[in-house]
Structure 1
Amino acid sequence: MPFFNKSAVKVIASGLCTLALAGTAQAQQAKSLDELLSQLEQGKIAQSKQNQQREAEFLAKRAEQDAMLKQVNNERIEQVTLSTTLERNYQENEVKLANQAEALNKRMGELKELFGVLQQVAGDTKSKFQNSVISAQIPGREAFLDDLAQSMGSTSKLASIEDIEKLWFELQREMTESAKVAKFQRQVVKADGESVNTEVIRVGNFNLISNGSYLEYINATGSVAELQRQPSSRYLATASALESANNEQVAFALDPTGGSILSLLVQAPNNQERIEQGGTVGYIILAIGAIGLLIALERFVSLFLIGRKVNRQLKNDQATNDNPLGRVMLVKEQNPSADVDTLELKLSESILREQPKLSSKLTMIKIISVVAPLIGLLGTVTGMINTFQAITLFGTGDPKLMAGGISQALVTTVLGLVVAIPMVFLFTMLNTRSRNIISILQQQSAGIIAERSEKGA
């Protein structure tokens, strides 16, 4: 059974249908069989001429396609030849490059190690310049070092004599400037965020100060800013002294680490912040201490005045009623005929009457000296409980959490001791003054009784 292509069958069927339709149209126009036969014959002749024309066009195009194919094949042969030539040249260049690199390594010798050290020095110097406060006065130095380190990282470029000299110059300038105290104008960001153009003093490569405050150099933004928290007043006093100095030597608190110690120093809480860490318990302790201090001050003034009057009465034989000794001596004058025993009882009564005035409020000072550390201990225990509760919730992963809580807890104990220790000294001193006055009264009372006893004998 012969094989027919489906596309060919479709074309033949379409042609037959076309001929049939054409024949039908002509048959409809023909009036006789002879006329129809003539028409069919003429149609075959016309179709034969059309087919011959198509064959001629196909043959002409076939020759054109063969010429194009030949041209493409020639171009392909040329490209293959060029590819082979380029590949051979590439391999030859690889060999030449390897030979040249080997020759370069042999010629460089120890210079290669020198350039390696130079690259390392450039990288280290760049890091140092980024953190140096001298860059606040001389900006842009690290850009050259960065370019030098990156360019030397490639084997295609080596450092020139000019590059080496410039690196030496930057190192020498850093050393020279680190020994100077320089003044220059610079934009400074204040603690409140305001940017002002002011005079800045650079102390070597250690610190920057302006208007009595310490500054910091921020390499990321290339700006100079005032520290949000300043160190204690004794350090700020040295900064003010340096600013007001006129070519004379002054003491100055500098940071040899270039800012690390200063940043830790300003984080330490001041006295006010430590008191605030004590919380409510701390304020209660301070309030009790203030009350005790006022009582002690009042007692000190009172006993001082009473002591002066008693001493003045000791030098005067005439008894007065404005001091305890005078009032005791008046008992003798008020009882001139009393016997010795009665007079002794009267004098003892008078001395007992004076004792509460002399020792008044001293017991309160003693109580404060005892209660203050107990309240501080209460605050410490409460703070430790809060610390352990925080550890239970957040764990022990952050030592600062525990250290901060314990530090706050111990502040109340410190405050309690700060109040209690002076109160003990004040109580001892005031109690001693009071006892001395009472001892004088007892001595004088004994003298009066002895004098009356001698008269009676």
Structure 2
Amino acid sequence: MKAMIRTIALGVGLSLCLPLAALAEPEQGKPLTLESLLQSVKQGRREDQAVNRERLAEFKAEQRDREKLLAEIKAERAALEALSAERESQFEENELLIGDLEQRLQERMGSLKELFGVLQQVASDAQGQFYVSLTQLDHPERGDFLVDFAGRMGQANRLPEIGEIERLWFELQQEMTESGQVVTQTRNVLTPDGTEEPRPVTRVGLFNAVADGKYLQFIPETGRLLEYSRQPDRYLGGARALSAGDAGPLAFAVDPTRGQLLELLTQAPNLSERVAQGGTIGYSIIALGVAGLLLALGRLVVLWLEGRAIHRQMANPEEPSAKNALGRILLAGRLHDEPDTETLELRLSEAVLEEVPRINRYLPLLKIVAAVAPLMGLLGTVTGMIVTFQAITLFGAGDPRLMAGGISQALVTTVLGLCVAIPMLLLHNLVQSRAKSLSEILQGRAVAMVASRAEAQG
């Protein structure tokens, strides 16, 4: 049994050593034998054992280094844990101390907290006012100071310095002083076409700035002066006089809202723009009114001339003239010198009836103009309301500007219709009364002629 085990072990050893023997190089002139192969295996084992010992020694040395490093790290962790515990205890002590100190500070500050609150509010309000003020062009650095000062006044543990409070008072006093000054300086002005030009700018207190007789708008975001694209023509007289350097008191329109009212005035439409809002119907009403006005004035001139001629004829009845109505009636009475008064009365009535239509000419047309004008205004009102309701249907009622066009047409045409109808009604009554007085004169003279003939026959 033992012999069999040895034989098997020898076979396994040979099977393992054959590859190594195949790799080993035989010595010069010596054949490869089992003994030489066994020696080579033994030598290889010794070399492997030496390498393993060296590696094991390296592993043990590295293990010792790692154990040393681990010990150092543990020692450092212990030290840091001790330091953390010390810092935590110190933090708790400091927190308690800070609480005591803050309580003592609050007790000692007393009513000063109200003062600091007032200083913070005043600084914040002043910064907001100075930001949109025209004096910001001269003192742009005060805004940073006020913002910083207001922020520090909001802190409970920050006491202001006397110099800071004095500077706040100085800035307020300086703003009040400059609110009553009129100062002229050369500054860059942004024109409506986008160019920037240096111009002499006159600042009227904190309210308005003018240059070359035009109002300027201050833009706080950019710190620039912008010329309004549209100027309030009604208030430009004082601005022009101020830019011209006129001496003495001047009538100047001051905007206490620092440009807000002035901007609204520049956006307000003028007369031509308001008329244009009426559209085609508005222009038609104006054309009708102009035609009616010219017709009424023409009839007044004609009747005035006719009245003068009639009065001259009344002063000289013995020499009738065919150039006036009364003269033609007198000529008709002389031409038809009838023996009886009834026939003469009929002839004179015929002559009067021929002259009265000439005097009352175009009176019905004036009355029609006075009646049609408000109806056209009502037509424009209805049309404008239709446009407004269409805009509401399409876009809703959220934006009033979408409905402004229809509402403007509705209101403007109504106003135009009334503005035409009222004067035309007055002119119609004036022309009618003038024509009626002349007709009564003609009828009276005709009756007088008949009465004179009746007296002569009697």
Give the number of equivalent residue pairs.
442
Q: What residue number does 1:282 align with?
A: 282
Does the aligned pair in 2 maintain the 1:137–1:184 contact within 8 Å?
Answer: no
Q: What residue number does 1:438 align with?
A: 439
Tell me how far 1:337 sits from its aligned partner: 5.5
- SS state at 1:187 partner: strand
Q: What residue number does 1:84 align with?
A: 85
CA 1:215/1:34 → structure 2, altered by over 3 Å: closer, same or farther? Answer: closer
Tell me how far 1:86 sits from its aligned partner: 3.3
- SS state at 2:267 partner: coil
Tell me how far 1:220 sits from its aligned partner: 1.4
Instruction: Between 356-365 and 387-396, report the one with greater CA deviation.
Output: 387-396
Q: What residue number does 1:211 align with?
A: 212
Instruction: Say whether residues 1:292 and 2:307 are aligned partners.
Output: no
Distance in 2, Cα, partners of 1:255 & 1:19: 114
CA 1:247/1:338 → structure 2, altered by over 3 Å: closer, same or farther? Answer: same
CA 1:155/1:354 → structure 2, altered by over 3 Å: closer, same or farther? Answer: same
Does the aligned pair in 1 maintain the 2:17–2:37 contact within 8 Å?
Answer: no
Q: Map residues 2-401 of structure 1 onto 2, 5 A cutoff.
A: 21-26=19-24, 30-155=31-156, 157-231=158-232, 233-244=233-244, 246-316=246-316, 317-336=318-337, 338-398=339-399
- SS state at 2:199 partner: strand
Distance in 2, Cα, partners of 1:141 & 1:47: 87
Does the aligned pair in 1 maintain the 2:352–2:443 contact within 8 Å?
Answer: yes
Gaps of 5+ in 2: 1-12
Alpha-carbon displacement from aligned partner over 1:75-121 (angstroms, at most 9, x marks no partner): 33433343333334333333333333333333333223212221111
Tell me how far 1:43 sits from its aligned partner: 4.5
Does the aligned pair in 2 maintain the 1:379–1:413 contact within 8 Å?
Answer: yes
Q: What is the identity, as a one-letter code, of the residue corresponding to 2:164?
A: D
Instruction: Between 376-385 and 236-245, report the one with greater CA deviation.
Output: 236-245
Percent of pairs with identical residues: 46
Q: What residue number does 2:456 align with?
A: 455
Does the aligned pair in 2 maintain the 1:27–1:36 contact within 8 Å?
Answer: no
CA 1:48/1:312 → structure 2, altered by over 3 Å: closer, same or farther? Answer: closer
> What is the TM-score of this pair, normalised by structure 1?
0.86
Does the aligned pair in 2 maintain the 1:206–1:258 contact within 8 Å?
Answer: yes
Q: What residue number does 1:4 align with?
A: none
Does the aligned pair in 1 maintain the 2:17–2:41 contact within 8 Å?
Answer: no
Does the aligned pair in 1 maintain the 2:320–2:330 contact within 8 Å?
Answer: yes
Alpha-carbon displacement from aligned partner over 1:342-378 (angstroms, at most 9, x marks no partner): 3222222222221222111222111111111111111
Tell me how far 1:69 sits from its aligned partner: 3.7
Q: What residue number does 1:12 align with?
A: none
Alpha-carbon displacement from aligned partner over 1:249-302 (angstroms, at most 9, x marks no partner): 233222223233333333333222221111111111111111111111211111
Q: What is the identity, as a one-letter code, of the residue corresponding to 1:423?
A: M
Does the aligned pair in 2 maintain the 1:373–1:413 contact within 8 Å?
Answer: yes
Instruction: Between 46-55 and 192-201, report the one with greater CA deviation.
Output: 46-55
Distance in 2, Cα, partners of 1:204 & 1:404: 39
- SS state at 1:188 partner: strand
Distance in 2, Cα, partners of 1:236 & 1:405: 32
Distance in 2, Cα, partners of 1:39 & 1:386: 115
Instruction: Between 171-180 and 404-413, report the one with greater CA deviation.
Output: 404-413
Q: What residue number does 1:11 align with?
A: none
Alpha-carbon displacement from aligned partner over 1:159-178 (angstroms, at most 9, x marks no partner): 21111111101111111222
CA 1:34/1:123 → structure 2, altered by over 3 Å: closer, same or farther? Answer: closer
Does the aligned pair in 2 maintain the 1:185–1:198 contact within 8 Å?
Answer: yes
Instruction: Say whether residues 1:417 and 2:418 are aligned partners.
Output: yes
- SS state at 1:380 partner: helix
Tell me how far 1:424 sits from its aligned partner: 1.1
Cα root mean square deviation, aligned:
2.9
Tell me how far 1:309 sits from its aligned partner: 1.1
Does the aligned pair in 2 maintain the 1:358–1:434 contact within 8 Å?
Answer: yes
> What is the TM-score of this pair, normalised by structure 2?
0.86
Distance in 2, Cα, partners of 1:54 & 1:403: 97
Q: What residue number does 2:10 align with?
A: none
Alpha-carbon displacement from aligned partner over 1:184-238 (angstroms, at most 9, x marks no partner): 322222233332222223332222233333222111111121223333x332233
Distance in 1, Cα, partners of 2:138 & 2:381: 50
Distance in 2, Cα, partners of 1:26 & 1:278: 118
Instruction: Between 56-65 and 186-195, report the one with greater CA deviation.
Output: 56-65
CA 1:221/1:453 → structure 2, altered by over 3 Å: closer, same or farther? Answer: same
Tell me how far 1:433 sits from its aligned partner: 1.5
Distance in 1, Cα, partners of 2:200 & 2:273: 32
Does the aligned pair in 2 maintain the 1:136–1:224 contact within 8 Å?
Answer: no
Does the aligned pair in 1 maintain the 2:381–2:411 contact within 8 Å?
Answer: yes
Tell me how far 1:56 sits from its aligned partner: 4.2
Tell me how far 1:437 sits from its aligned partner: 1.6
Q: What is the identity, as a one-letter code, of the residue corresponding to 1:438?
A: S
CA 1:72/1:20 → structure 2, altered by over 3 Å: closer, same or farther? Answer: farther
CA 1:21/1:435 → structure 2, altered by over 3 Å: closer, same or farther? Answer: same
Tell me how far 1:139 sits from its aligned partner: 3.6
CA 1:145/1:20 → structure 2, altered by over 3 Å: closer, same or farther? Answer: farther
CA 1:403/1:64 → structure 2, altered by over 3 Å: closer, same or farther? Answer: closer
Alpha-carbon displacement from aligned partner over 1:289-320 (angstroms, at most 9, x marks no partner): 11111111211111111111111111113112
- SS state at 1:214 partner: strand
Distance in 1, Cα, partners of 2:47 & 2:273: 118
Gaps of 5+ in 1: 1-14
Q: What residue number does 1:6 align with?
A: none
Tell me how far 1:124 sits from its aligned partner: 0.9
Distance in 2, Cα, partners of 1:276 & 1:28: 122
Distance in 2, Cα, partners of 1:38 & 1:135: 105
- SS state at 2:268 partner: coil
Instruction: Between 21-30 and 405-414, report the one with greater CA deviation.
Output: 21-30
Distance in 2, Cα, partners of 1:339 & 1:216: 89
Distance in 2, Cα, partners of 1:428 & 1:38: 153
- SS state at 2:192 partner: coil
